Amino acid sequence: MAWKVNGSNKCKLDTITANGTFQTNGVGGTVTYKWIRTDSNGTQAQPLLSIVVAAGDTSAHSVAPDQWIPASNGSEQLVFTNPSLSVAPQSFTCRP
């Protein structure tokens, strides 16, 4: 996850950009995922997105990045819904 805009790292002023990749074991199909954001405004799940992976493809695939301006310290998590897998949330801290 990248945390940079205007070089200040202050909440309500700077954008969080979360990036992620995944790799399969060669089984083809549609991989669905979503980003889950948490800050002082609560937890917000973003819409589901999907990537079609061809059978035999074991290369790394990038998910669509998520960008938002947090209100406070918090976290961002990438959750795969098909196949089911959660990546540990990544916390961020705002500078005063």
| Per-residue model confidence as pLDDT tens digits over 11-41 | 777 788 888 999 999 999 999 999 999 999 9
Residue 89 lies in a domain: no
Q: Is the pTM of this model over 0.95?
A: no
Residue 43 lies in a domain: yes
What is the C-alpha to C-alpha distance for residues 6 and 95, in angstroms, rounded to an integer?
Answer: 13
Number of domains in the chain: 1
Residue 47 lies in a domain: yes
Q: pLDDT, tens digit, for every residue of 35-53?
A: 999 999 999 999 999 999 9
State the burial class of residue 39 (Cβ atoms within 10 Å of its Cβ: 0-12, 13-18, 19+): buried
pLDDT of residue 8: 57
Residue 23 lies in a domain: yes
Residue 30 lies in a domain: yes
Domain that holds residue 49: 2-80
The band of 66, judged by pLDDT with boundaries at 50, 70 and 90, is very high
Provide the mean pLDDT of the chain. 87
